Chain A
């Protein structure tokens, strides 16, 4: 209600201001007078400049004559214009007056089209005071965050917040929160696992060194943690140790229960399929042997990051791909990567595309190709400092050379 009263006041002020001159009495045109002042001033200036020696006597005289001519011409024009009266336009003026008064109506109509008058403002500080039962989830998160900013030593707070972050897809913050809670409250297998999961999600399924260390630690604390074993094996696969990974998968499969059992079976199937596929290709294509050797299976950690612009498309692809049989699946993935590479070759300005390509190569285990793609990407963004920084970060995360 207050909002509408403010709107009305604003609109009334505007109408009053813009229509007032229409109702006023007609005033005389001060134009001639003001222009005359300028000319007089210029005459005076010629005099000063002559005195200062900036203008010779003859030149000053000439300039004065020129000025006088202009002045006469101007007053003749002014006389000609003066004939036009304003009386005949009173009807038009009335129309303009109505138009001016209608401005608020049009204004409200346009505003209702674009605005959201029903939404209350939610300033950050104000959100702290909303009663708990009325607060939205994000209000609550904001409140805990605010509390932790003041008391960063509160391990309980971090412990509560960390899984929420993970669910919201804020993986980096989740990893940070798990780590802090772990430091403040002491180690717990749950927190270590949460940290490792957040990190894997944040890095699109790559088992990086911190993740490996976290899972090693988890194995010490909880020797039966299947999660740690499986991810460490996937890490080995990503590092290029296919044989070792396969042996691990088989060993784990003996004791695994669902959901890990399914994961392991799928991985093994995929590995077998790729091997078959690679073997076939090596036989068919001359010179394909080398490619077959370097070809690696996509790792199990193919996660789709929420918030990533490519997420919906990738998710569809992932479902579609999951429905294919293993051989087709490997082929389809290789095709997609090739397609991406070809597209980027034509138009190299898509930074996210380059990052995806590099990442895909790494996940496929084609580190040489990843390196080449990275170099190409860098040369494409040679002048864009921010892009280069992002690429360097990527290289660092994926442990590629620079």
Chain B
């Protein structure tokens, strides 16, 4: 009964979405505010109905209701509770339901918090948002319905792919989707503005918090995926330039560019056309990510839906929204008036540079991801575009971006002083050079570009600190004054500095771990010891162990450093009961210098076990950097300015400053 209630709620949600798509839009055309007002309750109803549907599916999973085909295919009665819940979105149908649920959540948020949006803009935004929901709900009901039943029900389910039974992966899809879907708001705003043929700086201010929120979730979602790949796949790698990873990385790059160009638009009314285009492209890339993963075009863990009918449907959705958005853009972009003039060397100029580099980088990833697919479908030839391509295209684009990054926030709007900015960055530059020399001296081995990369990361980190130091005039004014200025600094300034600091951390982690990683592959017998990166690692032996729904072979290792025991490591090889598939669990010791990472391989015929040991220096900086970026987004989002368009409009400082005009 619960399942059927969920099914009915999903059908109703589709109808409400159709209503929400048509009525407010018509209302805004004829200027009827009551019809426009339908958008708000409809968006909230949609959220309620989809939450109910999702809840019902979750109940079916938790109670192992094997009369539901989707539960049979992806769950098992012995699965631990948390994976029964995460199993809801650990499959194609359920994850699409999560997708529309998050879409409805964002729509309802606009309805609830967008009280101060101009009525016609809001009606159009929610109408466009509903059209996306309609497309995806039709997709679910027609091709991937999670509520289909089986009669009679089988005795037990088929279980969830064991490598998906993992805490990080349980929460990776919701964050990733929140990111993807969050960009739908930017898209809806862009299309709504094009429908009205009117776009102004206030528009950018309303779009920015949504974009920022989406960007935050996407950042964390990608980081979680990378972290999971690192410890679960057992290769010690953290990024593989796999098409599925790229599919989430492209919207991130475009979204980052959008975030920066929206800033210019909001502050200076410039780059309007470009910002609208980016908003459309970012969401289109999100849709493409969904298409690549959901259509089964890529054979990978993620492509649980190998079904051409679904692929064609998602392709049609993608074509409709990308094509529709771009067509609107072509028709209306000329109506958008350009504003704000600026010199090439200025804050605006630096943000334009940022946009150029980020979109170019996005384009290189796009080509590297889609070219092999296009080639395969045209000629049948299978090529793989791997890390070398991206190292040689993406890498060089990042170098000027990172070198210019600390300068941007130090330049004034309209016309900036680059020498002055360089002066303020003097300390950061000096420290970076020292770090470069020190890295060279300590490592004394190639790759010889690596110290430069590390120094670049340090430069970005210190550049962010320098910005705050300069803003509060630390050193120029008495210390107490500087502290007062620090307290009065807008939160968005902290957000900027923190986010850039996070980028620097990430760069340091990426370069250090890629360049200085140590690796040992050997056969060890119980009692043997090997050494790597200053650790003495002793193999104690292998023992069997039984988990809730798997059996594993656990290897015991003791890691010593200078004679003292640092850590026990327990890498394992698991075989799950249902489905009976093997996985490897790495044993990881996280230290400040880096991670000691041990993987248990096959048992050798001559006795002993194949063991792989890695030392990944500073690898944690990669994910810490991403977490810092996420926090930076949250700090920036809490800034009063970004809430002006949102609920409780802040008037306090406004009244004081208004007489300036």
B155 touches A142 (CB 8 A): yes
Please tell me if the beta carbons of B145 and A114 are within 8 angstroms of each other in the complex. Answer: yes
Indicate if the CB atoms of A21 and B40 lie closer than 8 Å.
yes
B520 interface residue (CB < 8 Å to A): no
Contact A38 B645 (CB under 8 A): yes
Interface-side segment among A59-67, A271-279, A327-335: A59-67
Known: A17-B41, A38-B202, A122-B153. A385 touches B233 (CB 8 A): yes
Distance from B132 Cβ to chain A, minimum over Cβ atoms (Å)? 19
A116 at the interface (CB under 8 A from B): yes
CB-CB under 8 A from B42, the residues of chain A are 17-18
A110 within 8 A of B: yes
CB atoms of B31 and A86 under 8 A apart: yes
Bound state CA distance, A373 and B300, in angstroms? 22
Chain A residues contacting B33 (CB-CB under 8 Å) are 26-27, 29, 86
Q: A59-B415, A138-B153 are in contact. Are A7 and B77 (CB under 8 A)?
A: no
With an 8 A cutoff between CB atoms, is B5 at the interface? yes
Q: What B residues does A116 contact at CB under 8 A?
A: 4, 148-149, 151
Q: Which of A3, A33, A121 contacts B60 (CB 8 A)?
A: A121
CA–CA, A18 to B613, complex, Å?
61
B490 contacts across to A, CB distance below 8 A: 48
Chain B residues closer than 8 Å to A84, beta-carbon distance:
30-31
Is B394 an interface residue, CB under 8 A from the partner?
Answer: no
Asked if A224 CB lies within 8 Å of chain B CBs, one says no
Asked if residues A70 and B200 are in contact (CB atoms below 8 Å), the reply is yes
Contacts of A110 in B (CB 8 A): 11, 14-15
Are B64's CB and A93's CB within 8 A? no
A131 at interface, CB cutoff 8 A: no
Q: Does A44 contact B (CB under 8 A)?
A: yes
Contact A93 B16 (CB under 8 A): no
For chain B, give the interface size range: 35 or more
A45 interface hit (Cβ, 8 Å): yes
Chain A residues closer than 8 Å to B202, beta-carbon distance: 35, 38-39, 74
Q: How far does the alpha carbon of A395 sit from the alpha carbon of B147 in the complex, in Å?
A: 39
Do A21 and B41 contact each other (CB < 8 Å), given the known contacts A34-B649, A35-B118?
yes
* Interchain CA distance A52-B488 in the complex, whole Å: 11
Once A21-B37, A34-B118 are accepted as A-B contacts, the answer to whether A124 and B15 lie under 8 Å apart by CB is no
Cβ of B638 < 8 Å from any Cβ of A? no
Chain B residues, Cβ within 8 Å of A35: 118, 200, 202
Counting contact residues on chain A (CB < 8 A from B), the size range is 35 or more
The reply to whether A47 and B657 contact each other, CB–CB distance below 8 Å, is yes
What does DSSP make chain A's interface, helix, strand, loop or mixed?
Answer: helix
- Decide if A340 is an interface residue (CB 8 Å cutoff): no
A340-368 contacts to B (CB < 8 Å): 347, 349
CB distance from B535 to the nearest CB of A (A): 28
Q: Contact between A145 and B155 (Cβ–Cβ < 8 Å)?
A: yes
Q: Contacts A10-B8, A21-B40, A103-B19: A40 and B654 contacting too (C-beta < 8 A)?
A: yes
Q: Does B641 lie at the interface of the complex (its beta carbon under 8 Å from any beta carbon of A)? A: yes
Q: Contacts A29-B119, A41-B641, A138-B153 hold; do A115 and B147 have CB atoms under 8 A apart? A: yes
Instruction: Judge if B308 is at the interface, Cβ distance under 8 Å.
Output: no
Report how far A31 CA is from B202 CA in the complex, Å. Answer: 11
Contact A93 B32, beta carbon cutoff 8 Å: yes
Q: Are A63 and B268 in contact (CB under 8 A)?
A: yes
| A109 shortest CB reach to chain B, Å | 9
B654–A126 CB distance below 8 A: no
- C-alpha spacing A402/B205, complex, angstroms: 60
Taking the nearest CB of chain A, how far is it from the CB of B476, in angstroms? 10
Does B660 reach chain A (CB closer than 8 Å)? yes
* B263 interfacial contact with A, CB 8 Å: no
> Are the C-beta atoms of A70 and B657 separated by less than 8 Å?
no
Q: Are B653 and A106 in contact (CB under 8 A)?
A: no
The residue from B14, B35, B656, B661 contacting A22, defined by CB atoms under 8 A apart: B35
Set of chain A residues within 8 Å of B63, measured between Cβ atoms: 121, 123-126
- Contact indicator A41/B661 (Cβ below 8 Å): no
Are B78 and A14 in contact, CB atoms less than 8 angstroms apart?
no
Q: How far is the CA of A122 from the CA of B654 in the complex (A)?
A: 61
A87 to B153, CA, bound (A): 57
Over the window 190-219 of chain B, the binary record of Cβ atoms lying under 8 Å from chain A Cβ atoms (1 yes, 0 no) is 000000001011100100000000000000
On whether the beta carbons of B339 and A66 are closer than 8 Å, the reply is: yes
Find chain B residues with CB under 8 A from A39 CB. 201-202
Give complex CA distance A249, B653 in Å. 99
Interchain CB contact under 8 A, B658 and A70: no
The answer on a CB contact under 8 Å between B34 and A26 is: yes
Q: Within residues 1 to 45 of chain B, which ones have a CB less than 8 A from any CB in chain A?
A: 1-5, 7-9, 11-12, 14-16, 19-20, 23, 26-27, 30-35, 37-38, 40-42, 44-45
Asked if residues B8 and A77 are in contact (CB atoms below 8 Å), the reply is no
Chain B, 289-314, contact with A by CB distance < 8 Å: what is the 0/1 string? Answer: 00000000001110000000000000
Query: Contact at A386–B121, with CB atoms within 8 Å?
Result: no
Given known A103-B19, A138-B152, contact A124–B471 (CB-CB < 8 A): no
Contacts of B200 in A (CB 8 A): 35, 70, 74
Asked if A56 lies at the interface with its beta carbon under 8 angstroms from chain B, I say yes
Contacts of B12 in A (CB 8 A): 10-11, 14, 103-104, 107
Contact (Cβ within 8 A) B19 A18: yes
Cβ contact within 8 Å between B67 and A138: no
A20 to B15, CA, bound (A): 17
Q: Are A92 and B32 in contact (CB under 8 A)?
A: yes
Q: Does A93 lie within 8 Å of B19, measured CB to CB?
A: no
Q: Which residues of A contact B536 (CB under 8 A)?
A: none
The 8 Å CB contact of A85, one of B16, B27, B31, is B31
Partner of B116, one of A27, A34, A96, A145: A34
Q: Quick one: given A21-B38, A96-B23, A124-B63, are A349 and B299 in contact (CB under 8 Å)?
A: yes
B155 to chain A: which residues have CB within 8 Å? 138-139, 141-142, 145
Central interface residue in A33, A124, A347, by most chain B CB within 10 Å: A124
Does B335 lie at the interface of the complex (its beta carbon under 8 Å from any beta carbon of A)? no
Smallest Cβ distance from B190 to chain A, in angstroms? Answer: 18
Q: Are A54 and B205 in contact (CB under 8 A)?
A: no
For residue A336, which residues in chain B have a CB less than 8 angstroms away from its CB? none
Give B78's nearest chain A residue, CB to CB: A149
Q: Are B658 and A37 in contact (CB under 8 A)?
A: no
Q: Which residues of A contact B26 (CB under 8 A)?
A: 92, 96
Give B606 Cβ to nearest chain A Cβ, in Å.
15
Contacts of A189 in B (CB 8 A): none
**Complex CA–CA separation, A24 to B37 (angstroms):** 10
A142 proximity list for chain B (CB < 8 A): 77, 155-156
The answer to whether B414 has its CB under 8 Å from any CB of chain A is yes
- CB within 8 Å of A: which of B230-281? 233, 266-269
Contact with B along A360-402 (1 / 0, CB 8 A): 0000000000000000000000011111010001000000000
Question: CA A100 – CA B33 in complex, angstroms?
Answer: 17
B413 within 8 A of A: yes
CB neighbours of B299 from chain A (8 A):
349, 384, 387
A19 vs B42: C-alpha distance when bound (angstroms): 9
Q: Taking the nearest CB of chain B, how far is it from the CB of A329, in angstroms?
A: 34
Q: Decide yes or no whether A42 CB sits under 8 A from chain B.
A: yes
**16 more CB-based (< 8 A) A-B contacts, given A7-B8, A56-B412, A121-B63:** A6-B5, A18-B16, A21-B40, A30-B115, A31-B117, A31-B120, A41-B654, A63-B413, A64-B660, A66-B340, A70-B201, A84-B30, A115-B11, A122-B65, A138-B155, A384-B299
| Complex A-B, nearest 5 residue pairs according to Cβ-Cβ distance, in ascending order | A31-B118, A44-B657, A123-B63, A124-B64, A34-B116
> What is A's interface to B at a CB cutoff of 8 Å?
2-3, 6-7, 10-11, 13-14, 17-22, 24, 26-27, 29-35, 37-49, 52, 54-56, 59, 62-64, 66, 68, 70, 74, 77, 81, 84-86, 88-89, 92-93, 96, 99-100, 103-104, 106-107, 110-111, 114-117, 119-126, 136-139, 141-142, 145-146, 149, 172, 347, 349, 383-387, 389, 393
Instruction: List 25 A-B pairs, Cβ < 8 Å.
Output: A13-B45, A17-B44, A22-B38, A26-B34, A30-B118, A31-B120, A34-B649, A37-B651, A41-B650, A45-B267, A55-B412, A55-B414, A70-B200, A74-B200, A89-B27, A89-B30, A96-B35, A115-B147, A120-B1, A123-B60, A125-B63, A136-B152, A136-B153, A172-B580, A386-B301
